[in-house]
Each structure stands twice: as structure tokens, then as C-alpha cells.
Structure 1
Amino acid sequence: MRVAEQADKQQAVMILTQAFDQNKSVNFVVKQDDHRVDRIRQLMEYSFDYCKEFGEVYMSDDGRAFALVLFPEKKKASLKSMMWDAKLASNVIGLTRVMQVLNRETLIKKNHPRKPITYLWFIGVDPRLQGKGVGSKLLKTVIEMSERKERPIYLETSVDKNLPWYKSFGFEIYKTIDLTYELFLLRRVVSHPELTVQQTMSS
């Protein structure tokens, strides 16, 4: 696993577009028309750029899996970010649907703590390699980074079958939002193994 560079953007966008093609949450954000797949591609381009600017992008060594991580407190408005947002609104969401999508984001963010967190925006694997442990290795990388920085990890998923996988890595469902689909909000708190050892010794 390694940190992705700008040169890896095209590969990341291709993999994530394939991985999230049928995702309910992504398709809620993306305008549903004949250009749907291209709109998903543009969403992934936006997300990659945003995470490179205000977070980190991790990838498997073979370039078949990517994790887009955002550090929300680092987000700052700039001419560049405002241009990205405007392009997202017009080319991906559709101007008539912007408020609907913004309301969704508000519902999610109001359930995040004020302290610094790791927001796992997207994690996706080449569909041909799913179930082979590639995504698990990538998620472990994100967890290890967050543990070092003492940041809890927050994410959401609309895919029921992914819940046991996340739970196996210590994530818990702390809220469910009813949109036109069910969105599960998950978090993983920072573990302190040294405290566990001390508690055991003193008990």
C-alpha cells in the first residue's frame, strides 16, 4: 500500500467509477439520466482532487484499489475549491437537485464530532478482485494511519452486505438516516491498547 500521486488519478477514477456504479448513495447524489456513468466519473475526479488537497489518497501496490480520505478541519475555501464545487453542482448533481444533496450532507455532518476525524469518503476495489483481501489491506492502512494520528474514523454506506466487513474492523453503526434509501453511519473510535494493559494489571 502507498500514497497515491496525481499521476494515479486516472486509474483511481476508473476503479472507483466501476466500484460505485450501482451504489445507492452515489446514485442519490448523481443526476440520473443518459450521462449517469460520466457523472459518477466526474464525482470521483472531484473527490480525488478534494482528498489530495485536504486529506490523503491511498492505493494498493497494483493500483487496483483506492481509499479517499478527507480531514474535514483542513478544508478551506479557495478559488480552486469553489470552482470544483460549481462544476460538481452543474455537471454531476444538476442545479435543480443541489439543495436536496446539500440537505443530505448536512444530515451526515451534524452527526460528526467537532474534534479532528478521518472521514473515509470512498474505498473501492476493482470489481474483478473483490473478496480477495485487497480492500481489507487498504482499510487496515487507513486504520493504522488514523491510530497514529489518534483520529476516529467516520464513514457511511448504503450497502447492507458491507456492514459485517466494517464491523470486523471495529466499526459500529451509530445512526441510520432514512433518505430514499437507508444510509448507515459508522465510526471507529481510537483504541488505546496501552490503557487496556494498564487496566488489566491494576484489576
Structure 2
Amino acid sequence: MRKGTLIDQNLVVSLMVRMFKDNPAVVSLIKPGKNIENGIRSLANSTFFQSLHRDGIWISSNEGAVALCFHFNSGKFSFQEFLLDLRFAIKYIGFKRLPGVLAREAYRKKQRPADGNYFYFWFFAALPDAGEAAFELKNGIFDMARKADLPIFTETSVERNQKIYERYGFKTYQIWEVPTTKIKFWFLKWEP
């Protein structure tokens, strides 16, 4: 496992686009009538820079898997992140839908500790034939959390992923269904 850098942007974004075309929570962000793949690419670029700014991009040695995971308190305001988020919001979410999306994201954030002293496992993407890449990243991130003696928080809107997280030691502490979209989120925590 290695830390990602700016030169890894295309690799990370392409893996994320490939993985999130079928993710209901990600797809629901994109305004109907917009190109889903372009919207996911825009979102992936935004999350790439937010994670890069927080030293939170991790790439498997075979480059078949990536994880965006960082100490939540790390990083400060970045104008570049703000512009990317603003562009995504205007072009792919739309002004009418923005309050609902912001409310959903605020609710998700409130389910984690307010002090921000934890690792946030934001996104994971892997090629189907990546082999041991997922285990390499999992083990590396768990080791990082153990050394820092910090928990890892994540959430998923894919039930299959929730079961995988639990298989690796995460505990589901809340399930929430978004009233407007009926999309379920599983909130999970892993303790070192």
C-alpha cells in the first residue's frame, strides 16, 4: 500500500467512476437528465482533491484498488475543494435539489463524533480482478488506525458492502432510510 499523490488522479477517478455507477446514494446525487458517468466523474474529482488535501488516498501495490481514508480533523479549508464542490453542485445536483442533498449529508456527518478525532473511510474502489488488493488496503488502514489508537467510521448505502464491513470487524450502530429517496444507509464503526 502506498499513499496517493496528484499523479494518481486519473487512476483513482477512473476506479471510482467504475465502482459507483451502480451505487444508489451516489447516483441519486445526479440530477435527472444529466449524464450519470460525467456526474460521478465530477464527484470523484472533488473527493480526490479533498482526500489528497488530507493525506488520505491509499493505493494497493498492484494499483487495482484505492481507498479514501483520512483522519477527519486533518486538513483545512481549500479554495480548490470549494470550487470543485460548487461546480458539482451547480452542474449535477441543481439548485432545487441542493437543500435536500445538504440535509442528507449533514445528517450523515452528525452520526459521527463531533470532535472529528477518528479516521473516516470515505470511499473504496477495486477492479474485479484486483486479487489481494482489497485485503492489502484493509490491513494497511487498520494498522494505521491501531497506531493512532483511533476508531474508523464509515457508512454505505449498499447492503452487500455493509455485510462485508461487518465481516472485517465493523459494527453497524445505526440504519437510516432517507425519507425523500428511500435509500438506506448503514453507519458502521471499527475499534482498534
Q: Common fold, TM-score beyond 0.5?
A: yes
Q: What are structure 1's unaligned runs of at least 5 residues?
A: 191-203
1:31 equivalenced with 2:31 (yes/no): yes
Report 1:182-197 matches (<5 A): 182-190=184-192
**Secondary structure of the corresponding residue to residue 175 of structure 1:** strand
Range 181-190 or range 86-95, more displaced = 86-95
CA RMSD of aligned residues (A): 1.6
Q: TM-score, normalised by structure 1?
A: 0.86
Map 1:22-171 to 2 at 5 A. Answer: 22-115=22-115, 116-126=117-127, 128-129=128-129, 132-171=131-170
Correspondence for 1:175: 174
User: How far apart, CA to CA, are the structure 2 residues paired with 1:160 and 1:121?
Assistant: 16
Conserved 8 A contact 1:40-1:92 = no
Deviation at 1:34, TM superposition (A): 4.0
Which runs of no fewer than 5 residues in structure 2 stay unpaired?
Answer: none
Distance 1:29 1:55 in 2: 25
Which AA in structure 1 matches 2:140? T
Distance 1:98-1:71 versus aligned 2 partners, 3 A rule: farther
Deviation at 1:106, TM superposition (A): 1.0
How far apart, in 2, do the equivalents of 1:19 and 1:83 lie?
A: 24
1:7 aligns with 7
The one-letter code matched in structure 1 to 2:184 is: E
Q: How many residues align?
A: 188
Q: Which has the larger radius of gyration?
A: 1
Higher-helix-fraction structure: 1
